[in-house]
Structure 1
Amino acid sequence: MNNIEFFRKKHREIFIFIGIFSAIINLLMLVLPVYSLQLFSRVLSSKSIETLLFLAGIALVLLFLQSTLDFIRGRLLFSAGELFDKACSKQIVEQSLLKSASSVGESRRLSQDMKDAKMSVSAPFNNLMFDLPWSPLFVLIIFAFHPYLGFFAIGAIATLAILALVNLKLTEKNHKAMNDVAFNNGTNLIKLFSHGKDINHFNVAGPLASDWYASNNSLNEQQNQNNFVTTIIQCSIKYVRMTMQIGVLGLGAWLVISDQAQSGVLIASSILLGRALAPVDQSMNQWHNWRRCRAAYKRIEKMFDEAEADNRIELPIDQYNLAVEAATIRDKFDRYTLKQVQFELKTGHTLAIIGPSGSGKSALLNTIKDPSRLAQGKIRVNGISLVEMPASQQADLIGYLPQDIEFFETSVFNNICNFDTSDGVEERVFAAAKLAGIHEWICQLPNAYQTVYGKGGFGLSGGQKQQLALARAVYKQPKILLLDEPDSNLDPQAEQQLLFAIKKLKQLGTSIVVVSHRTKLLSAVDWVVVLEKGQIRDAGKRDEVLERIANNNKVANLRAGRQQNAN
């Protein structure tokens, strides 16, 4: 049983109790009508103070019981929200964080869905589902007073329902569109916050704020138009409801005057009509919120069902031969970033990916790390497709040092081990730091490995970031290591340490794919693949490929020289 199924089971149990309490609460709504009837039929006719006190005492006790049950019902609704949080929120946040790598919008949408889904099971509008079915009972009781009053009540409910439908018809489409625009505006603003340094460096806060302001103004205009229609209809509904209350009192008075009903019917029918109309009226005001929250809950359910359907198990692998088979990815404009890229790397070998800027080198490494980006093709290890492996096995199998390095605002220790708490974590962290050549300078920090990085902590130079990222990449002793320009900010000493680490890892049987143009790092590789415009232009043993590149450059230079002389 997954988390959402556990929640569904407990949620049904909670809602059964809420339904029972709601039934009693709605039956106790009859206390005031019955009390008013008894006042007119018994107390006023007999002029008995004792009867008045007796009836008042019973009414007060029953109303206290009603309030108590209403309190319990509210607490049960709140507990349903708490239960949802405990059962589902951790996994939802985990999925939201995973999605943030590819789409801030999807990640934020999932976080918002979590809040809305919780509201869908805990907000007071859930009570309307239990109160609304009791409106027909109150109408039947009004019918029992007099058929004229009953037909009047049906007409009142029908009128409110028609106005509600008109309101929904006129505002529903715009309401959804405005919610989407507001959400996108918020998402875009969050994206801008992540570029705070660049915004300050290039002094573009004003123009960016102007763009946001224009978009927000457009949203405000739509909201103003929608609010105008909604306010008119809501005021009309309020007017109609008050008119109906006056009407039922007037009709009741006419029936009493004409001796067709008792005096108590005058008050009782007004109270019951108000109670019958209340859920209808409130449901109109809450309908948009309820639909939004219910849709969010359905998306959360779908997410859990898809996660449960992902029944991948850790597969045994005895060799770690990496095979990239016809790897093809497209950008959002449907242009090829990689096209039919194919190579194989044996266990313990090292491959360099070289090529001009924009040729797809980083995209290739990203695709090996995350094969879900593939439009077609496969990434295999020893014949097993990476997408068939669980994420945990992929993370243990492949270490990755990206070109754009980011760390968490936590200790150096946690940044290296990625919050690992298993046995032997200290030894593995120290070993990774020593291999990356940063153990000594970490020990010189104010709190050594427990020194906090980032806001409120210390900062790092470009080279130190790359070395710390290397320690993080090799922490789990991966069998495949991806290095995206790991030497771009290194000084000669750090570069020498990187070469030592690569040779050491090769001896341990690690397969390494590295993106670099520096001759010193290329001296440590066995194979070279040359990418150009997302396709392999050349590939083979290092010395052979580099020799062909050198010869091609000589020919190109000779041609350029001849052309210049001819001009």
Structure 2
Amino acid sequence: MQGFFKAFKSHFFFAALFSFFDNMLMLAMPIYMMQLFDRVMTSRSNETLVMLSLAAVGALLVMWVLEMLRARLLGAASLLMDQSLGGKVVSGLIKSAARLGARDYAQGLRDVAVLRGFLTGNSIFALFDTPWAIFFIVIIFIFHPLMGFIALGGAVLLLLVAVLNEKVTHKPLHDAGLASRKSSRFIDISIRNSEVVSAMGMVSGVRGRWQKMNDAVLEHQRVLTQRTSMINSFTKFLRQFIQIAMLGAGAYLVIDQHMTPGIMMAATLILGRALAPVEQAITTWKGIVDARESYDNLNQLLSDYKEDAGAMALPAPSGKLNVERLAFVTPTTRLAVIKGISFELNAGEVLGVIGPSAAGKSSLLRLVAGVWKPTAGAVRLDGADVSEWTREQIGEHIGYLPHDVELFAGSVGDNIARMLPAKDFSDQVIEAAKMAGVHDLILRLPNGYETEIGETGYVLSGGQRQRIALARALFNKPRLILLDEPNANLDGEGEAAFLNAVNAMKQNKMTVLIVTHKPAMLLHADKVLVMKEGLVEAFGPKDEVIGKTVRTASAVSNIQAVGV
């Protein structure tokens, strides 16, 4: 974030420069008022009145142009910020969401929007103008020390109110934001699971849970509203009180002939200008706090998830996989789910990974894919630690089919092309679909490869989504294929197509890891890895491992439990 402000510091410099001239021109009205009372009305000169009026109007026109330019500069900075940070924030959000126990940055794009709104709103103008309050107070001191002390005291009181505002509203603002985000996420999850909620009559339960969350939001909002309304109303009272004090003191000085009526009116107008940005900062304090919190969030996000850069490009791998003493401990529960696993696969070999539930099979695939960073050990592809590759480099060499399949809003072809324009990669898209055995199925869809899937893939059955996701994994013939329960939603025809796809992968020298509970899915497996409680129970050629495993009764029950 600091880099952004450095990159666009010229915008802020000129905005500050325009603020300087804008505040200088703000003196036009007090000077005009002073000249009217002290010169025009006493001399009764129409010519002087006309010239002063023209000069004042000219100053106001210049001030209007300067304010417009300042607003445009900050608006341009906000758009450049969005263009500069938007893509980086999306990348950071995706990396954060993929990593277990990562900090919650779900509101990252909202934070960008908040900063963009701040740069074009009244809050930042108040921050640019507030420092000039000192300049205006000095001018009032020049008029008369008594009025200067009233102005200074008023400014100090308003600043104390601003500090008090920060103290009494910071916690409810923060708590209300957290509660609101929690409630929003719950509703998002409920909508994604609307079929389950509706089918099982869970609407009242979900509504009740949301109501409790929303009540918490409303309670925080109630406390916040009470405090902000008290502060804002007191600020208005204090502002008017200071104005009355200034007018009263000015009238006293005029009566005692220590100043003219024109100076009294000019000092009052200057005081209004001096205190206006401070008062505006107090009334828009929520926007300032939101912007500060959004800045901190984005700064932390971009620090935690820097873009991949600087790594030397490595040659395309052949698919030789080495897993060396791999271990993984969950950051939140500190539970070891993978405990020193080691094995080796040559390019083109197929490994079946079996074991009971919670054995660590899916976790192993995430570690091999590089989605999770191991606590200890390493995953090497052609001898290079996958952590040495940038995600863009390694990603094109990995095909990953997770247990829970999600497709993106877009066409079938775009999904297979990994959200690249399918029309630019039509040959690769069709080749991947044919290898996955889903080409004919796609052609039977209403618009073939151009069929729009929708945000949840609702136009496709679970089996169709899984087979299209398999084609996505095979796009561009990656060297390492990771399949987590690839047959979970498949019927007999789909399973037959999947086995043909695995055979095609072997023919193309792709290294394949298959997590499965069905023995039929191991038809083309060269080796089998048996896992239990994060450990390797057995590893080796398929027939040897299964034959050795079933020799003991306990092993028989274990194998039956996983369907092998």
Same-fold call, TM cutoff 0.5: yes
- 1:389 corresponds to 2:406: no
Q: Which amino acid aligns with 2:502?
A: I
How many residue pairs are counted as aligned between the two chains? 554
Q: 1:324 to 1:297 in 2, by over 3 A?
A: same
Does residue 1:8 correspond to 2:2, yes or no? no
- Higher alpha-carbon deviation: 237-246 or 400-409: 400-409
* Matched residue, 2:538: 538
Q: Secondary structure at the match of 1:313?
A: coil
Equivalent residues of 1:372, 1:387 under 8 A apart:
no
**Could you tell me how far apart the structure 1 residues matched to 2:262 and 2:110 are?**
51
Report the counterpart of residue 427 of structure 1 in structure 2.
Answer: 427
Whole-Å separation in 2 of the counterparts to 1:292 and 1:217: 22
Bigger shift: 362-371 or 254-263?
362-371
Structure 1: tracts of 5 or more residues without a match:
558-567
How far apart, in 2, do the equivalents of 1:177 and 1:119 lie? Answer: 22
- Please state how far the C-alpha of 1:304 moved relative to its aligned partner: 4.6
Q: 1:424 to 1:272 in 2, by over 3 A?
A: closer
SS in 2 for 1:372: coil
Residues 43-73 of structure 1 show CA distances to partners (whole Å, capped at 9, x for unaligned) of 1111222322222222122222222222222
- Counterpart position of 1:564: none
Q: Is the 8 A contact 2:165 2:231 kept in 1?
A: yes
- Structure 1 residues 384, 171: closer, same or farther in 2, change over 3 A? same
Query: Does the C-alpha gap of structure 1 residues 507 and 266 become closer, same or farther in structure 2, counting only changes over 3 Å?
Result: same
Query: Which among 69, 73, 77 is matched to residue 72 of structure 1?
Result: 69
* Cα 1:420/1:161, change in 2 over 3 Å: closer
Residue equivalent to 1:43: 40
Q: Which residue of 1 aligns with 2:135?
A: 137
Residue 426 of structure 2 aligns with an amino acid whose one-letter code is: E
| Residues 553/129 of structure 1: CA separation in 2 closer, same or farther (3 Å cut) | same
Is the 2:18–2:70 contact (alpha carbons within 8 Å) kept by the matching residues of 1?
A: yes
1:447, CA displacement in angstroms? 1.9
Q: CA deviation at 1:30?
A: 0.9
Residues 414 and 422 of structure 2 are in contact (CA less than 8 Å); yes or no, is this contact kept in structure 1?
A: no
Q: What is the aligned partner in structure 2 of residue 349 from structure 1?
A: 349
Which one-letter code corresponds to 2:382 in the other structure?
N
What letter corresponds to residue 508 of structure 1 in structure 2? N
TM-score by length of 1: 0.91
* Correspondences of 1:483-502 after superposition (within 5 Å): 483-502=483-502
- Asked whether 1:276 is paired with 2:270, we answer no
2:156 aligned partner, one-letter code:
A
8 Å contact 1:400–1:473 — kept in the other structure? yes
What amino acid maps onto 1:82 in structure 2?
Answer: L
TM-score normalised by length of structure 2: 0.91
**CA displacement at 1:289 relative to structure 2:** 2.5
Match of 1:476 in 2: 476
Q: Could you tell me which residue of structure 2 aligns to residue 552 of structure 1?
A: 552
Query: Any unmatched runs of 5+ in structure 2?
Result: 558-564
How far apart are residue 430 of structure 1 and its match?
1.5
Q: Aligned in 2, Cα 1:15/1:357: closer, same or farther, shift over 3 Å? A: same
1:175 alignment counterpart: 173
Q: Distance in 2 between matches of 1:457 and 1:372?
A: 26
Aligned mates of 2:456, 2:147 — CA distance in 1: 71
Indicate the larger mover: 44-53 or 369-378. Answer: 369-378
C-alpha displacement of 1:417: 1.1
2:81 aligned partner: 84
535-544 vs 168-177, greater mean Cα deviation: 168-177
Shift of 1:523: 2.6
2:414 and 2:421 in contact (8 A); partners too: no
CA offsets, 1:421-442, max 9 Å, x none?
Answer: 4997211111111112222232
Letter aligned with residue 173 of structure 1: K
SS at match of 1:234: helix
Partner Cα separation in structure 2 for residue 195 and residue 431 of structure 1: 34
**Identity, % of aligned pairs?**
32
Asked if the contact 1:163/1:233 (under 8 Å) is kept, the reply is: yes
- 2:562 maps to which residue? none
Give the drift of 1:200.
Answer: 1.2
Deviation at 1:490, TM superposition (A): 3.3
Aligned position for 2:209:
211
Distance 1:171 1:466, change over 3 A: closer
Q: Distance in 2 between matches of 1:530 and 1:456?
A: 34
What value does the CA root-mean-square deviation take over the aligned residues?
A: 2.6
Q: Which residue of 2 aligns with 1:562?
A: none
Partners in 2 of 1:204 and 1:245 — Cα distance? 60
Given the superposition, is the C-alpha separation of residues 188 and 491 from structure 1 closer, same or farther in structure 2, using an over 3 Å criterion? closer
Q: Which digits, 9 at most, give the CA deviation of each residue in 1:459-482, with x for residues without a partner? A: 333333332222111112011111
1:98-157 C-alpha deviation (Å, 9 max, x unpaired): 434458983522112211232343333222232122112211111121111111111111
Shift of 1:243: 1.0
Any idea what SS the aligned residue of 2:212 has? helix
- Counterpart selection for 1:17 from 1, 8, 14: 14
Structure 1 residues 440 and 277: alpha-carbon distance in aligned structure 2, compared to 1, 3 A threshold? same
Cα distance change on mapping 1:548 and 1:390 into 2, 3 Å:
same
Shift of 1:275: 0.9
Contact 2:180 2:217 in 1 (8 A): yes
